[in-house]
Amino acid sequence: MRVTTDWDRYHRRVRVSQLLLWAVWRAYAGLLRGISFTGPIKIIELGCGTAYHTLQMTKLFQVDKVTLADFNPNVLKDTQKRLSGLKCEKEFLLQDLFSLDLSEKYDIVHSQGLLEHYTPEEQKKLICLHRDLLTPNGIAVILVPTPSLAYRLWRGIFEKLHLWIYPDETAISEAEFKAALESSGLEILKMKRCHLTEVGAVCRKGN
């Protein structure tokens, strides 16, 4: 039986791991290098957690609106507080992504730490959600853990110490990730290994 991640427990831990968030942001920044937009943009983060990376993006691009979606009320409440100083339009959606039905389109649709908690069929649905929310020239940015040596070592140590809190997490190989993105109608613009344990991709809607 699949044991799902306790996101409240995750969130209590992530409050103190600013260093980890910063390392992930470096990975995002590498993926976004060279990307530009002609005018102000809209961003949506799927499974936003802290929304740290959306917040960082507002420093890189001129942003009209950010939309943050997460199904955990505690996570979203904290995120709302964290983003209170942000000047652009903000929308917080307390919703399960599998029933998210938005007509609005976004220039950046992104997630990190989401897909790997779901089965391959569910991952495909989530990738299609990223795709369907894109404007014609928009980009999807997705980061997932990959079973590198560093990932296996890191996870092994945490499991031995009974500190591993993601029972449903399955690391995704680069080949599986690439195949899942392409078979969901996304064209990969950039794909790279990030900070030893993750792989990230920048994609746009394929023709």
Ligand X SMILES: C[S@@+](CC[C@H](N)C(=O)[O-])C[C@H]1O[C@@H](n2cnc3c(N)ncnc32)[C@H](O)[C@@H]1O
Distance in Å, CB of 169 to ligand X, minimum: 9
Asked if 75 and 45 touch (Cβ cutoff 8 Å), the reply is no
Between the two ends of the chain, the Cα-to-Cα distance in Å is 39
Nearer to ligand X, 4 or 173 (CB): 4
Residue 49 is a binding residue for ligand X (CB under 6 A) = yes
In the complex, what is the shortest distance from the CB of residue 187 to ligand X, in angstroms, rounded to a whole number? 23
Between vectors from CA 152 to CA 151 and to CA 156, what angle results, nearest 5°?
A: 120
**Do 20 and 14 form a contact (C-beta atoms < 8 A)?**
yes
Shorter beta-carbon distance to ligand X: residue 47 or 200: 47
Extract the tokens encoding 59: 């420093």
Regarding 53 and contact with ligand X (CB under 6 A), the answer is: yes
200 binds ligand X (CB under 6 A): no
Choosing from 43, 44, 68, 114, the residue that interacts with ligand X (CB under 6 A) is 114
* Contact between 168 and ligand X per CB under 6 A: no
For ligand X, the binding residue among 37, 61, 71, 92 (CB under 6 A) is 71
| Smaller CB separation from ligand X, 50 or 197 | 50
Per-position b or e across 137-153, b if 16+ CB within 10 A of its CB: ebbbbbbbbbbbeebee
**Coil vs helix vs strand at 206:** coil
Give the footprint of ligand X on this chain (CB under 6 A).
7, 14, 21, 47, 49-50, 52-53, 70-72, 75, 96-98, 112-114, 117
